[in-house]
Amino acid sequence: MQRGVLVTGGAGYIGSHTTVELIKAGFEVVIVDNFSNSDISSLDGIERITGVRPTFVEADCCDKEALRRVFEAHDFQSVIHFAAYKAVGESVAEPMKYYRNNLLSFMNIVELMQEYKRPNIVFSSSATVYGDAETLPVTEQTPRKPATSPYGNTKQMAEDILRDVTAACEGIVGIALRYFNPIGAHPTANIGELPRGVPNNLVPYITQTAAGVRECLSIFGDDYDTPDGSCQRDFIDIVDLARAHVVAIERMLAGKNRARYEIFNVGTGHPVSVFELVNGFEAANNLKLNVRIAARREGDVPAVWADTTHANNELGWRAERALDDTLRAAWAWERKVRGIE
Ligand code: UD1
């Protein structure tokens, strides 16, 4: 079916928001997820927003036979592959867990696409491939730096696999989306991020601090060579990010891609510092956070943000949501999860 999409990791943070946008655009979604870092409740949230409950298969993408049954049973033209582990520090401690899971699942997907003649794939890549870039903002041509974590390495390796497969196999077209820092939640507060344990990422740590789950937010470094001394990132609203996947799929279905493998940065194009983000969160939500300055976190780059010209021109996509709306949505979601009025 032309408008069928397989979404691996569709119960997760980015996957659930993308599923909502796909359904809104008239796609029929089949989700495969093993709930390794997600919850079945996100399917209820998707249904509350869209009125549609996507077809769901509980399976691990490393289990090729289980995945094969999904390809046998469902007729989709496109795949969006989100299913992967994403904790940078954990990947350094347990590299094989990351190589096995992130690469095997991706290779299974690509092999089954070849076997079952399903042509289109969007791969979830990351700005982590740029490392500590020499020039900012980074364009898709900015050279990748050697990965500093097994997690980052799996993103680079999967990009390379996709490049090679699309070059060798006429039947496969791929788009890698390099995400910058996805934040926020659906404006209806029906879906959002559900980190397990202590959050690694800034915004969930902020919202949990505001909710009183964490005592104090640590700002990792105020002595960087940046305008205010804290790191700068490109924080992209999760719904804007989700929409980029829909236009990527539409592009491939319409045959508008200019090559069989394309790469797009998905960010706002604007740097925001950690201090600015924290202040912005406090102002948008009219509250005060308990904050302290801590040592730099190993592996953090001082600054990275996207040049989004390529996505703007070729995909006709740009980030639209204002940062304070995103930060209000993040807090509304945390309150809902914690039952805070
Ligand atoms: C990281 C990964 C990225 C991955 C993303 C989502 C790297 C270099 N980055 O992005 O690939 O896609 O997570 O999992 O591999 N901060 C604090 N206090 C906190 C938490 C964070 O000050 O409690 C700061 C960090 O030092 C950083 C900024 O906030 O400067 C953003 O951190 P984070 O949300 O973890 O994202 P990245 O490290 O940019």
pLDDT digits (tens, 9 = 90+) for 150-175: 999 999 999 999 999 999 988 999 99
Residue 257 has pLDDT above 80, yes or no: yes
Catalytic option among 151, 179, 205, 224: 151
CB 32 within 8 A of CB 61: yes
Q: In this predicted model, what pLDDT tens digit does every residue of 196-230 receive, in sequence order?
A: 999 999 999 999 999 999 999 999 999 999 999 99
Q: Residue 53: what pLDDT?
A: 97
230 CA: nearest ligand 1 atom: 30
Q: Residues of the chain with pLDDT > 90: what percent? A: 98
Per-residue pLDDT, averaged over 57-72, amounts to: 98
Q: Is 224 a catalytic residue?
A: no
Q: Residues of the chain with pLDDT > 70: what percent? A: 100
Q: What is the pTM of this model?
A: 0.98
Overall size of the chain counted in residues? 341
Residue 7 has pLDDT above 80, yes or no: yes
- Listed in order, strand segments (DSSP E) in the chain are 4-8, 28-33, 55-58, 78-81, 120-126, 173-179, 181-183, 217-220, 232-233, 235-237, 261-266, 272-273, 291-294
State the sign of the Cα–Cα–Cα–Cα dihedral 241, 242, 247, 253.
positive
- Listed in order, strand segments (DSSP E) in 14-86 are 28-33, 55-58, 78-81
CB 268 within 8 A of CB 308: yes
How far does residue 114's CA lie from ligand 1's centre (Å)?
35
Per-residue pLDDT, averaged over 297-304, amounts to: 96
Give 3-state DSSP helix, strand, coil % of the chain, rounded to 5: 40, 20, 40
How far does residue 206's CA lie from ligand 1's centre (Å)?
12
Indicate whether residue 224 lines ligand 1 (CB < 6 A).
no
Ligand 1, from 92, 183, 201: best to mutate by most atoms within 8 Å of Cβ?
201
Report the chain's mean pLDDT, rounded to a whole number: 97
| CA angle centred on 302, ends 334 and 330, rounded to 5° | 10
Cα(335)–Cα(341) distance, integer angstroms? 7
Instruction: Identify residue 196 by its one-letter amino acid code.
Output: R
pLDDT confidence of 341, banded at 50, 70, 90?
A: confident
Cα(112)–Cα(304) distance, integer angstroms? 35
Q: In this predicted model, what pLDDT tens digit does every residue of 84-116 receive, in sequence order?
A: 999 999 999 999 999 999 999 999 999 999 999
Per-residue pLDDT, averaged over 305-310, amounts to: 98
Task: Report strand pairing: 55-58 vs 4-8.
Answer: unpaired
**253 — phi, psi (to 5°)?**
-65, -35
pLDDT confidence of 39, banded at 50, 70, 90?
A: very high
Residue 1 has pLDDT above 80, yes or no: no
pLDDT confidence of 285, banded at 50, 70, 90?
A: very high
Per-residue pLDDT, averaged over 327-333, amounts to: 98
State the sign of the Cα–Cα–Cα–Cα dihedral 204, 305, 175, 65.
negative
Cα(186)–Cα(138) distance, integer angstroms? 28
Q: Residue 2: what pLDDT?
A: 82
Q: Residue 131: what pLDDT?
A: 95
Residue position matching structure tokens 């690509």: 110
